[in-house]
Structure 1
């Protein structure tokens, strides 16, 4: 009886000791992350951001910093809605793969199959658009962009805006970051689905994954918990430059929260939207015509954190910056969203991932 009690006591001591150790470890990690973020987002009276870190789908860190609205003196909260910029491209890529899964297209199809008059469209494939190897001129680098920035543009008008520009290189010759290719993809989604890009993403992705606080961006709609975007000038902070969201379109016009982005990550992991075969296409490295491998899949950069493979992407649009890192081998997801393009979450998000990775060994 005494031996039995002693064993029970020892088991309880070991259990509580491990619990206390885990809590101490989490507290230690939290302090390190707090300190890291404070270096860039420490001023409570400036625009700020929201950072979240999760492992195995469980939130281990979720905090807001600074102001969501300077004029109204509104503090940032973790459920704030941000423009996510180029993170939009992952949704566009998955939408294309969903259409492929339904048998409505192939990533090997030439662009000319859907846009008959596209220059060299028989040589540029959907795969080239997805991997940024098409050579199409990036419209964000065109001087004439300022002339249409405030205009409501139909997708075909956006495609016509850049399609006759000289190509930067032959399809598949090199990898170069490009927004135009993802605008073409958005237009193809509309042509094949018979629906607008906005509706397609909402019905087929946001609604299916429970992303109830994610939207196609608008400066006119009332969006609950919207974080307002800012620039920093010598004279102080100013409201973000206005742009018509039909311009970035399917390359950068979505809004979301850190919680919804975690739902998105989990939906991809659980094959809720795509089967395993289609999902793998988004997360594998491809080769150029020369046989050289490059580190971009379909909508994600494929890099590494402390030598462990990751998937990551950032975003930048007037008044906002965003960054996410996902480490599949450890199921660690880190995301940072900022409402001033003067505060970048990129390196902070990467460093948070490194801290968590070191503590999860």
Structure 2
């Protein structure tokens, strides 16, 4: 339900990253090192070996018990492997047929269902939510398109200190929506982008009202069955699925079984459970026009534009961004015990799917897709890490020190402007330390250039933490030479 990438902005801080509900931890060793268990490859031995090595490095560094990856080029299987264990206590190996929770990858199914209903003349994505759910929070202020693109401004129902306790118990739709009822919008609809599970929960209710079927019935009849997906279920079915992976996360540095989000809470925002093979059937069916018309497929993968910040890097149920300078369309997913990624690179006609049974952040699922892409296209990866000319060693040293303070949550204010210092010391610093600390110490701090925006000089870097783990980070420096703003992508 929780993506690895996205965008939100807080005053002097610009962040492109998903809202974080998980515990953050990063181990440098494993009790059981994940080794390849089963697989198939049409790659040369050297490339397959490098991918295996990098995948195992990511799994070991993140303490991930098991993973399954698959790569398709032009729709044909190029590489598939299972690593480690699906059940650590029983020492049961992961296999290509293992079921994993796919979290927010579910959102593209919800989006496709809404577009199907528009094609059938039963709704319009530009109509106000009130047309279909008049009693929903802010129903007269937001449109279905804004719900689909996370530009509605609706507050998040999974926020708050009690979010986990709420999420693991069965809930009614009324109880879910009561968590946001009465709260103001976070911003004017359409003006910004902020990831919102609330929007997709409401879309599930719209599907039910318009179709006359339950959400699960509609998805199975109109999406899963036409796509030939016979191995995709919901969280409610996990007890009868075998082989089903067990979800884990780190607590206090120790790997533990993670609690499960209840199906009624994840629901249309993230309740599907699938296999890599079935997810590829979905990819083929969607791209092939079997689910919605080609024009709507294109719309899903076209970034919306916000009035305040331009491109949202998100379409309708799909992220739209770049890796190594190459366009990427897809989605990540996460629950308390799983992180997954389903990524498409249109220039290469390449699809990479990665499932893991580790719910930590930074998310191993997306990291695996990154290392695989880098090994398949090493020249692109090398070019992306090439430093820009004109770096000032003293400025870079200062920025490294500033990043270390942010990462460690020990901001002393000497390097930062007064306004940003106040925000960091008021709680933002703790939040960023929780998000950035688990990445570990950077292995490289690559200068990518200087720009001038909003009266500040911005110095941009690519910060590398290991295979598949990088951040684009910028420091906005004011006239006094202090960091007045930061950005992260």
TM tier relative to shorter chain: 0.7 to 0.9
Matches within 5 A, 1:94-113: 94-113=112-131
Q: Does 1:49 align with 2:54?
A: no
Q: Which residue of 2 aligns with 1:317?
A: 335
Q: Report if aligned partners of 1:139, 1:180 keep a CA contact under 8 Å in 2.
A: yes
Report the counterpart of residue 375 of structure 2 in structure 1: 355
For 2:58, the equivalent position in structure 1 comes to 40
8 A contact 1:156–1:187 mirrored in 2: no
Map of 1:1-361 to 2, 5 A cutoff?
A: 26-42=44-60, 47-146=65-164, 148-218=166-236, 221-234=239-252, 236-290=254-308, 292-342=310-360, 344-358=364-378
Q: State the secondary structure of the residue aligned to 2:351.
A: strand
Give the alignment's TM-score, normalised by structure 2.
0.65
How far off is 1:242 after superposition? Answer: 3.1
Shift of 1:166: 1.9
How many Å separate the matches in 1 of 2:165 and 2:341? 29
User: Which protein has greater RCO, CA pairs closer than 8 Å, 6+ apart?
Assistant: 1
> In 2 relative to 1, CA 46–173 (structure 1 residues): closer, same or farther, beyond 3 Å?
closer
Consecutive unaligned residues in structure 1, runs of 5 or more: 1-22
Q: Provide the C-alpha distance between the structure 1 equivalents of 2:266 and 2:280, rounded to a whole number of angstroms.
A: 24
Larger fraction in helix: 1
Size of the aligned set, in residue pairs, is 337
1:354 Cα deviation (Å)? 3.0
Distance 1:99 1:267, change over 3 A: same
CA distance in 1, matches of 2:354, 2:252: 25
- Is the CA contact (8 Å cut-off) linking 1:46 and 1:67 kept in structure 2? no
Contact residue 229 and residue 240 of structure 1 kept, 8 A: yes
Taking a change above 3 Å as real, the CA distance of residues 359 and 99 of structure 1, as seen in their structure-2 partners, is: farther
Give the structure with the higher percent strand: 2
| RMSD between aligned residues | 2.3
Give the deviation of 1:170 after TM superposition: 1.1
Q: Which residue of 2 aligns with 1:10?
A: none
> TM-score normalized by structure 1?
0.87
- Distance in 2, matches of 1:347 and 1:235, equals 20
Provide the rounded CA distance (Å) in 2 between the counterparts of 1:24 and 1:58.
10
Residue 19 of structure 1 corresponds to which residue in structure 2? none
